[in-house]
Chains A and B, each alone.
Chain A
């Protein structure tokens, strides 16, 4: 049967075209599939809800533009929730381009919260090289690690930094991470050494490697994994955004991939049967 042989050798351009259509069409016309909130995402939301208003939290932007479509929606949703709860955000970056990611997120979110003031409710401390050593140094001497904000202004000028010497006065740490250094290093130092709650968001590819840290010891309070994690968070804060829209595209793309896997296997078994019959 020639058709089964064709199943085995579909031109890759057909696959590419179908993936393109499968991603593009749902981005233009929303399909609106059901979305459920998973336990790991709910835990991050609950952790922030329990923090007293006015508390300072640290968000680290450990990613760059290549993973922006997956992680930036998480940053936006987390900042929206934090500002709604009147939490104050200290932002850092272990990746050089995390600084710009943070600026863009703050610009977008601050437009919705006109009362938010830079230096009072939010500060971007910028990038610092060194990865895990930087975090360890922050825990011992925060002010010498970040003597100035991303704009080069001394941190003593900003009320949000008053009394911050280490992680003692920080409610929790959230790392939005696309690799190394990132979430793993924050867990190892901030939670494992200093006992502060840590949560995070990662790309879908990285999520399986971080899941072992979501355990009984709560090394990670919760984890937002990929676009789905971001979409679930948007659902929790009741502000559907890019991630919710992107989930339709991702779902259709996954479905197309599964269909091709099925076609490939049908072709494989049918041709194998033919070959077996010929041998017999």
Chain B
């Protein structure tokens, strides 16, 4: 708790007094943070391994999927360590036969032709669920939901090429009726105002919780309540 207080106070002071010794100390502390965060990645990987093994051992629901996760993880790690990546050499050189077969190193092959496409597919699936959810949720049941519905439709049209095509004929003097301009207005004013309110509240919350940690009021990170 004392370490937290000293480090927290030092970082705050160094922002207001950017001179020796505070600036040097805060730079050193940042360096330490970068080293620790590097180790956090290794810790995360070990944790992933442990959690999956426990679930397989206990035959948790859908446990075969955890085997797939572990195998995929291991294959990537082994390929990366043995043959390296596009820019990093591995423990053993890539044979010509392997290069002829894959075209690139095995890690890069799996990354480019499997992982990238699977990731993009997962993200793309959102379009289908959003379409179905919008159809069911956007109903003009009350004045508030009607307002939301109108704003959503205007932004959806204005943020696509169809918006420009539909209202492209409108003369410049009535440019404010142009769908992309209406969408920009909604995004620039009502949306920005709402976002700023959220950001200010979140900022105040961060200050409050940081002070609680630095002053030792909040101790859950030490394992307490």
Contact = CB atoms under 8 A, between A and B. Distances in A.
Interface of A: 10, 12, 15-16, 19-20, 23, 33-36, 38-39, 64-69, 96, 99-100, 103-104, 124, 126, 128-130, 133-134, 136-137, 140-141, 144-145, 149-152, 204, 207-209, 211-212, 225-226, 228, 231, 247-248, 250-258, 260-261, 263-265, 268-269
17 contacts: A33-B162, A33-B165, A36-B180, A129-B37, A129-B40, A137-B27, A145-B34, A208-B191, A211-B192, A226-B159, A231-B161, A252-B162, A254-B156, A256-B131, A257-B156, A261-B149, A268-B141
A253 B123 contact: no
Nearest to A64: B119
B116 A68 contact: yes
B31 A261 contact: no
B191 A133 contact: no
Interface stretch (B1-9, B65-73, B132-140, B210-218): B132-140
Interface in B67-112: 86-88, 108, 111-112
Given A16-B128, A66-B120, 14 more contacts: A33-B160, A34-B161, A34-B164, A38-B184, A69-B123, A124-B87, A152-B88, A212-B195, A250-B160, A251-B162, A254-B162, A261-B149, A261-B152, A268-B140
Q: Report whether over half of chain A's contact residues are helix, strand or loop; otherwise say mixed.
A: helix
Interface residues of B, number: 57
B122 A66 contact: yes
Contact of B30 (A38, A129, A136): A136
B109 to A, nearest CB: 12
A204 to B, nearest CB: 7
B48 interface: no
Contacts of A66: 119-120, 122-123
B45 to A, nearest CB: 11
A263 B196 CA distance: 35
A142 to B, nearest CB: 12
A211 B191 contact: yes
A44 to B, nearest CB: 16
Q: Which of B111, B115, B135 has the most CB of A within 10 A?
A: B135
B132 A12 contact: yes
Contacts of B156: 254, 257-258
Contacts of B124: 69
Interface string B1-35: 00000000000000000000001000100110110
B174 interface: no
A66 B116 CA distance: 7
Nearest to A7: B135
Contacts of A23: 127
B204 interface: no
Contacts of A103: 86-87
Given A65-B116, A68-B116, A257-B135, A265 B140 contact: yes
A247 B34 CA distance: 40
Contacts of A16: 128, 131-132
A107 B186 CA distance: 39
* Interface core residue of B30, B108, B130, B141 (most chain A CB under 10 Å): B30
Nearest to B184: A38
Given A151-B87, A209-B195, A211-B188, A255 B162 contact: yes
A26 to B, nearest CB: 10
A264 B123 contact: no
